[in-house]
Amino acid sequence: MRDQDFGLLVLRLSTGGLLLFHGFSKLINGVGPIGEMLTAMGLPSFIAYGTLLVELVAAMFIVFGLWTRAAAVAVAFNMVIAILMVHVSQIFSLSPQGGWAIELPMLYLLPALALAFTGGGRYAITRNDIFS
């Protein structure tokens, strides 16, 4: 059986669903560490709330297939910024376990890019607009 729409549903549920854990963690524990990193870079710390917004709201949008493309672009952008802020020195490194040192952010970035190009599929709430 071949069902691309079901595959997109699995991609949405796994990517958005797993990212929600990061969002809930930031909701419970705050975005202080991210704000501190931003301040150290000369940027305002309130930008850290954008990460919370993406990891909660955009992740839920991806799960439900609500404006999937726009939500996926937001997640991809968030992951690029996270890599540049935190992981840039690890791009060409391996983790102690032998995997790519930045594989976790890449495991959010790459499926988000795929969803930005494909949309949410038939099992999404919004299916026919430019942002779905």
Q: Which amino acid is at 92?
A: F
**pLDDT at residue number 130:** 64
As a three-state string, the secondary structure of 56-120 is HHHHHHHHHCCCHHHHHHHHHHHHHHHHHHHHHHHCCCECCCCCECCHHHHHHHHHHHHHHHHCC
**Per-residue pLDDT band at 132 (split at 50, 70, 90):** low
pLDDT in tens, 23-80: 999 999 999 999 999 999 998 999 999 999 999 999 999 999 999 999 999 999 999 9
**Per-residue pLDDT band at 129 (split at 50, 70, 90):** low
Predicted structure pTM score: 0.91
Cα 55 to the chain's mean position, in Å?
6
Cα 124 to the chain's mean position, in Å?
18
> Taking a C-beta distance cutoff of 8 angstroms, is the pair 76, 116 a contact?
yes
> Taking a C-beta distance cutoff of 8 angstroms, is the pair 19, 55 a contact?
yes
Instruction: Say which residue, 108 or 126, is predicted with more confidence.
Output: 108
